[in-house]
Chain A
Amino acid sequence: MAARAPGANADRPDVPALKVGAGATAITATTHLDRTLAIVFVIAALALPFILDALGAGYYLSLASRIVIYAIAATSLNLVLGYAGLVSFGHAAFVGLGAYATGILVSEGVVGSGWHLLATVAVTGLAALTIGAISLRTRGVYFIMITLAFAQMLFYLANSVKGYGGDEGLNIKARSVLGFGAFAIDLKNPLALWYVAVAVLGASLLALARFGPSRLGRAVLVLRDDDVRAEALGFPTYRLKLLVFVVAGVLGGVAGALSVNLQGYVSPNVLHWTQSGTLMVMVILGGVATVWGGLVGAATLLLLQEVLAAYTEHWEFWTGWVLLAVVLFARQGLVGLLGSARRSVAERR
């Protein structure tokens, strides 16, 4: 495996078997972070604000930040959905909880020293532990429905909490301040928010790339492909699934905390099932069980919407057609498509 072409293993011949009763597939996942891509990512992350400034398009930084925040959420979902094969249809629950935890604290005047981060991690971690512990007792379609049910419960709960905006949502004036003293970073500064967001995304991608080939990652991929066999081999499948579910929930919550800092606003809509659906669409569009899938999917979907919205009022209509085309013609998502294109170029040489 030493002379592996970069990105070649993104081209997987098999589609993850998530349908109940489908046969076992080989252990697959893009497990390494392409070094060139990683360098491009770091340079782009550092330079983008300056490039946009130089082009006189500084206002696009907020769009870029939104993409990065969605990419964090989608990447966290990819961990559950792609790597562990658990089709969670309620991931918006954690993003929304994170957004509300931070939003409520800021609106109560608690701004500094990373309390939000702590609260977000505690709230989303606890929620993911509870929801996961119950949901993971079911499987297949029932898991999809029960995770959806929990997210819907939180959606209606958020609608009814009149003290924090109810169905109208919650506006916050201040933003989180991370760190203290001379090292305090106020997320009110768009540049600070951008760098914090890309740092979180970069760390997540790196962790995901390390996770794939690790012992833990291999174990998770085994149970995704055949959890009865994994259990027979002595893997603690339930605890592994719960671990992945909680880690992904917390990361989703961090994305939510960042998004409320970006927009200064959180409403029950972040918990609506269509939001969970959008995150799923991003993952599937980008590439299930690939390191870059979440980022590619989030960037593609949001940029597509942005570009289409500039030309037509009916951007949703055309976005739908593009997504349909991806389902029908790019079965392994865009990362898979790019991987196979690169490989076919390499073969022709």
Chain B
Amino acid sequence: MSGVLLIEQALNGLQFGLMLFLLAAGLTLVFGVMDMINLAHGSLYMVGAFLAAWLVGLTGSFVLSVLGAVALTGMFGMALEAGLLRTLYARDHLSQVLATFALILILNDGVKMVFGTDLPLSAPAALAGPVELFPGFQYPAYRLLILGVGLALAVALYLLVQKTRMGALVRAGASNRPMATAMGVNIRALFTLVFGIGAALCAVAGALLGPLLAVQVGMGENILILAFVVIVIGGIGSIRGALVGSILVGCIDTLGRTGLQQVFREFLPPQWASAAGPAIASVAVYVFMAAVLAFRPQGLFPARS
């Protein structure tokens, strides 16, 4: 593989990893602090993408639409948490699986009723072309935007969790919830807000990835499982772990898809090489997770003391 292609794929991997992080951040906090398996987290990503695509149709402005979708999805997430998910925290994992699986069905079909099975969403025209990063290396401007937004949000979230009072309370909850509650932290109220932020981050990922992938019903289901893989690798409840895990998973997945294809092309017929590459890359992520679990069962950055 040539150097230029390698850099391009590494950037793609980083970009996908950062978007995964936006999903994983909310998921890991819900899982880590509330001990709640939320299968419907991917549906928030879908809702965000559909809202953005719908708003673009209304307003014509990509930026406004993304901001609107983020705000609406955040509010929707808070309503969902306060109205339903909150009652599930005390229930066993099986009830949570059943309830959030039901939510997937409801949201998938609900979105289909309102918006149809898919909506067109394209990158803003100003960012459609490539940018020359250095002589001889061009990279799509829109992907660069995703990279920038992802990095900025990752830093902001890191500062929020590590440096603010709210972040300290959330970390206390992830480390030992009964103790945090006993010390007077109102975890419930705090958590409605945390869930809203998590939902808003899902919407950012959905809206930004929409033009690259496709805005369609069921788009959240595969990325949800990747987000679960990320938080298990990173350590449940740990934002830092989610960031490292996301970038690792994003790079393994993206580099595997193209890199392995190149390798296979050397000794396999082309139609096999193009099929085996993506398949093995998808499997590689899970093999990596199994290996991490075998050597560090608590993940790379365990949140619980």
Taking the complex as formed, is A266 at the interface, i.e. its CB lies under 8 A from any CB of chain B?
A: no
Q: How far is the CA of A10 from the CA of B23 in the complex (A)?
A: 40
How many angstroms between the C-alpha atoms of A81 and B94 in the bound complex? 9
A251: Cβ under 8 A from any B Cβ: no
A229 contacts partner chain B, Cβ-Cβ < 8 Å = no
Instruction: Say yes or no: B92 contacts A16, CB within 8 Å.
Output: yes
Query: Which chain A residue has the least Cβ–Cβ distance from B226?
Result: A152
Give, as a whole number of angstroms, the nearest-CB distance from A161 to chain B. Answer: 8
Asked if A152 meets B286 with Cβ closer than 8 Å, knowing A22-B92, A321-B102, the reply is: yes
The proximity string for B residues 261-305 relative to A, scoring 1 for CB distances below 8 Å and 0 otherwise, is 000000000011001101110110011011001100100000000
Cβ contact within 8 Å between B113 and A314: yes
Q: Is the CB of A317 within 8 A of B94?
A: no
Pair A18/B93 contact, Cβ less than 8 Å: yes
Contact A142 B232 (CB under 8 A): yes
Shortest A200–chain B CB gap in Å is 26
Which residues of B have CB within 8 Å of A292? none
Determine whether the beta carbon of B113 is less than 8 Å from that of A317: yes
Contacts A142-B293, A162-B275 given; indicate if A157 touches B283 (C-beta within 8 A): yes
User: Is B81 part of the contact surface with A, judged by Cβ < 8 Å?
Assistant: no
B93 touches A87 (CB 8 A): yes
A331 — nearest CB in chain B belongs to which residue? B95
A84 at the interface (CB under 8 A from B): no
Evaluate contact between A146 and B98: CB separation under 8 angstroms: no
Tell me the residues in window 45-89 of chain A with beta carbons closer than 8 Å to chain B beta carbons: 81, 87
Contacts of B99 in A (CB 8 A): 323-324, 327-328
For residue A326, which residues in chain B have a CB less than 8 angstroms away from its CB?
98
> Do the beta carbons of B283 and A320 come within 8 Å of each other?
no
Q: Which residues on the A side are within 8 Å of B283 (C-beta)?
A: 152-153, 156-157
Residue of B nearest to A163 (CB): B272
Which segment of A179-187, A215-223, A277-285, A339-347 sits at the interface? A277-285
Taking A162-B272, A284-B98 as contacts, is the C-beta distance between A277 and B39 under 8 angstroms? Answer: yes
Q: How large is the interface on B (under 10, 10 to 19, 20 to 34, 35 or more residues)?
A: 35 or more
- A19 touches which one: B92, B104, B105, B236 (CB < 8 A)? B92
CA separation between A157 and B276, bound complex, in Å?
Answer: 9
The answer to whether A145 and B97 have CB atoms under 8 Å apart is no
- B129 at interface by CB-CB < 8 Å: no
List the A residue with the shortest CB-CB distance to B103.
A320
When distances are taken between beta carbons in the complex, the residues of chain B under 8 Å from A323 are 98-99, 101-102, 105
List A contacts of B87 (CB < 8 A).
328
Does A134 make an interface contact (CB < 8 A)?
yes
Q: Contacting A281 at CB < 8 Å: which of B88, B91, B101, B110?
A: B101
Q: Nearest Cβ in chain B — how far from A150, in angstroms?
A: 7
Report B-chain residues with C-beta under 8 Å of the C-beta of A281.
97-98, 101-102
Residues of A within 8 A of B232 (CB): 141-142, 145
Q: How many residues of A contact B (CB 8 A)?
A: 49
Question: Is B112 located at the chain interface by the 8 A CB criterion?
Answer: yes
B87 to chain A, nearest CB (A): 7
Contact present for B113 and A160 (CB under 8 Å):
no
Q: Is A110 engaged at the interface, CB distance under 8 Å to the other chain? A: no
Q: A138-B297, A141-B236, A162-B271 are in contact. Are A284 and B93 (CB under 8 A)?
A: no
The A interface is mostly helix, strand or loop, or mixed, namely helix
Q: Is the CB of B293 within 8 A of A324?
A: no
Instruction: Report whether A160 and B278 are in contact in the complex, using a CB–CB cutoff of 8 Å.
Output: yes
Task: Identify which of A87, A317, A328 gathers the most chain B CB atoms within 10 Å of its CB.
Answer: A317
Is A316 located at the chain interface by the 8 A CB criterion?
yes
- Nearest CB on A from B280, distance (A): 8
Cβ contact of B109, chosen from A159, A166, A285, A314, cutoff 8 A: A314
Bound Cα distance A319, B105 (Å): 7
A144 at the interface (CB under 8 A from B): yes
A284 CA to B92 CA, complexed, in Å: 11
Residue of A nearest to B281 (CB): A156
Q: Given the interface contacts A159-B279, A277-B97, A288-B94, does A138 sit within 8 Å of B293 by beta carbon? A: yes
Q: Which of A11-46 contact B (CB under 8 A)?
A: 15-19, 22
Q: Does A149 contact B (CB under 8 A)?
A: yes
Which residues of chain A come closer than 8 Å to B109, judged between CB atoms?
314-317, 320
One of A22, A138, A166, A284 near B95 (C-beta < 8 A) = A284
Interface pair A284/B97, CB less than 8 Å apart:
yes
Task: Determine whether A94 belongs to the interface, using a CB cutoff of 8 Å to chain B.
Answer: no
Asked if B106 is an interface residue, CB under 8 A from chain A, the answer is yes
Closest to B88 in A: A327
Flag B119-151 by CB within 8 Å of A: 1 or 0 each.
Answer: 000000000000000000000000000000000
Interface centre among A16, A134, A273, A315 (most CB of B within 10 A): A273
29 contacts between A and B (CB under 8 A): A15-B95, A16-B94, A18-B93, A87-B97, A138-B297, A144-B37, A145-B228, A145-B232, A146-B293, A148-B225, A152-B282, A157-B279, A166-B275, A277-B39, A277-B97, A280-B94, A281-B98, A284-B97, A316-B108, A317-B113, A319-B102, A320-B102, A320-B109, A323-B99, A327-B91, A327-B95, A327-B98, A327-B102, A328-B99
Interfacial residues, chain B to chain A (CB-CB below 8 A): 31, 35, 37, 39, 84, 87-88, 91-95, 97-99, 101-106, 108-110, 112-113, 221, 225, 228-229, 232, 236, 271-272, 275-276, 278-280, 282-283, 286-287, 289-290, 293-294, 297
